[in-house]
Chain A
Amino acid sequence: MRFAVAAVVGAVVLAGCAPVQSGSAPTGGDEQAGQLRVWLFDEVNRGPKEAVVKEAITEFEQAHQGVTVDVQYIQVQTRAERFKAAFSDPKSAPDVAEFGNTDLAGYVAGGGFADLDLGDWPEAKDLLPAVLDTGKVDGKVYGVPWYVGVRALYYRTDVFQELNLQPPATLDEIAPLARRIRAAKPDLLGISAGGKYTYGAMPFVWANGGDIARKDGDKYVAAIDSAESKAGLRQYTELIADDICPPAQCAGNGGDASVEAFRAGKAAMVVGGDFNRKSVDASTAAGKYAVVPLPGKKAGEIAPAFAGGNLLGVMKGSERRTLANQFVRLLGGKEYQRKMFDAMGNLPTFGDVQAEVAKANPVLEPFIETLEAGTRFVPVTPNWAKIDAQAVLPTLLQQVAAGGEDLDKAAEDAADQMNAAFGS
Chain B
Amino acid sequence: MRTAKGDGRIAFAYLVPALLVLVGLMGYPIYQLVLISLFDYGQEQVSGGAPLTFLGLGNYATLLSQSRFWAVLGQTVGFAAVCVVGTLLVGAALAVLATRVRTWARMALFLAALGAWATPTVAGSTIWLFLFDANFGFVNEVLGTTGLSWTYDKWLAFGLVAAQVIWCSFPFVMVTLYAGIKAIPGEVLEAAALDGASTTRTATSVILPLLRPLLIVVTIQSIIWDFKVFTQIYIMTNGGGIAGRNLVLNVYAYQQAFAASEYGLGASIGVVTTVLLLLVTLGYLRALRRSGEAL
Interfacial residues, chain A to chain B (CB-CB below 8 A): 1, 12-13, 16-25, 80, 84, 87-88, 106, 109-112, 195, 247-249, 251-252, 382, 385-386, 389-391, 394-395, 398-399, 402-403, 405, 421, 424
Number of A-B contacts defined by CB within 8 Å: 106
Q: Compute how far the CA of A382 lies from the CA of B50 in the bound complex, rounded to whole angstroms.
A: 13
By a CB distance below 8 angstroms, the chain B residues around A16 are 31, 35
* Chain A residues in 8 Å Cβ range of B44: 109-111, 382
Which among A84, A248, A405 is the interface contact of B149 at CB below 8 angstroms? A248
Tell me which residues across on chain B come within 8 A of A19, comparing CB atoms: 32, 35-36, 39, 41, 45, 52
Q: CA separation between A251 and B134, bound complex, in Å?
A: 14
Q: Which of B46, B52, B152 sits near A22, CB closer than 8 Å?
A: B46
Given A16-B35, A389-B261, CB of A87 within 8 Å of CB of B47: yes
Shortest distance in angstroms between A307's beta carbon and chain B's nearest beta carbon?
23
A21 engages B48 (CB within 8 Å) = yes
Inside 8 A of B46's CB, which chain A residues have their CB? 20-22, 84, 87-88
With A and B bound together, what is the CA distance between A18 and B256 in angstroms?
23
**Which of the residues B43, B47, B260 comes within 8 Å of A390, measured between beta carbons?**
B260
The B40-95 residues at the A interface (CB cut-off 8 A) are: 40-41, 43-49, 52
Residues of B within 8 A of A (CB): 12, 31-32, 35-36, 39-41, 43-49, 52, 134, 149, 151-153, 238-239, 241-245, 255-256, 259-262
Nearest chain-A residue to B41 (Cβ)? Answer: A19
CB distance from B9 to the nearest CB of A (A): 8
Residues of B near A398 (CB, < 8 A) are 242-244
- A395 to B, closest residue via Cβ: B243
CB distance from A70 to the nearest CB of B (A): 23
Contact yes or no, B255 A25, CB < 8 A: no
User: Are A112 and B152 closer than 8 Å at their CB atoms?
Assistant: no
Q: Which of chain A's residues have a CB closer than 8 A to the CB of B36?
A: 19
A24 vs B47: C-alpha distance when bound (angstroms):
6
Q: What distance in Å separates the Cβ of A421 from its nearest Cβ neighbour in chain B?
A: 8
Known: A18-B52, A248-B149. A389 touches B255 (CB 8 A): yes
Q: Are the CB atoms of B43 and A403 closer together than 8 Å? A: no
Residue ID in chain A nearest B52 by CB atoms: A18
* Docked complex Cα distance between A248 and B145 (Å): 14
Check if B48 sits within 8 Å of A386, measured CB to CB: no
Report the nearest B residue to A24, measured CB to CB: B48
Q: Besides the contacts A109-B43, A195-B243, A390-B260, what 15 more A-B pairs have beta carbons closer than 8 Å?
A: A17-B35, A18-B39, A19-B32, A20-B46, A21-B47, A84-B261, A87-B46, A88-B46, A110-B47, A111-B48, A247-B152, A251-B242, A385-B260, A390-B256, A394-B243
**Chain B residues within 8 Å of A248, by CB:** 134, 149, 152-153
Shortest Cβ distance from B46 into A: residue: A88
Specify which of A80, A87, A111, A249 is in contact with B134 (CB 8 Å cutoff). Answer: A249
Knowing A21-B52, A84-B43 touch, does A403 contact B243 (C-beta < 8 A)?
A: yes
Alpha-carbon distance between A22 and B46 when the two chains are bound, in angstroms: 6
Within 8 Å by CB of B48, from A1, A25, A382, A391, lies: A25
Kindly list chain A residues whose C-beta atoms are within 8 Å of the C-beta of B134: 248-249
Most B CB within 10 A of own CB, among A13, A195, A395: A395
User: A386–B152 contact, CB under 8 A?
Assistant: no
Between B36, B43, B151, B153, the greatest number of chain A beta carbons within 10 A of the residue's beta carbon is seen for B43
A21 to B149, CA, bound (A): 46
A22-B48, A25-B48 given as contacts; is B260 within 8 A of A252 (CB)? no
Complex CA gap A25/B32 in Å reads 22
CA distance A386 to B42 in the complex (A): 10
A251-B261 contact in complex given A87-B43, A395-B244, C-beta closer than 8 Å: no
Contact A386 B260 (CB under 8 A): yes
Using known A-B contacts A25-B48, A88-B47, determine if residue A391 contacts B244 with beta carbons closer than 8 Å.
Answer: yes
Q: Contacts of B35 on A, CB cut-off 8 Å?
A: 16-19
Given contacts A106-B43, A389-B260, contact A111 B49 (CB under 8 A): yes
Cβ B260 vs Cβ A110 within 8 A: no
7 interchain pairs, CB-CB under 8 A: A19-B45, A25-B48, A109-B49, A249-B149, A252-B241, A389-B255, A391-B244
Q: Tell me, in angstroms, the Cα distance from A88 to B261 when the chains sit together.
A: 12
Chain A contacts of B32 at CB under 8 A? 19
List the A residue with the shortest CB-CB distance to B19.
A5
Chain B residues closer than 8 Å to A110, beta-carbon distance: 43-44, 47, 49, 261
Residues of B within 8 A of A399 (CB): 243
Cα A21 to Cα B50 with chains together (Å): 10
Q: When chains A and B are docked, how far (Å) is the Cα of A106 from the Cα of B149?
A: 36
Known: A21-B48, A110-B47. A386 touches B261 (CB 8 A): yes
A282 to B3, CA, bound (A): 84
Q: Give A402 to B40 CA distance when docked, in angstroms.
A: 35
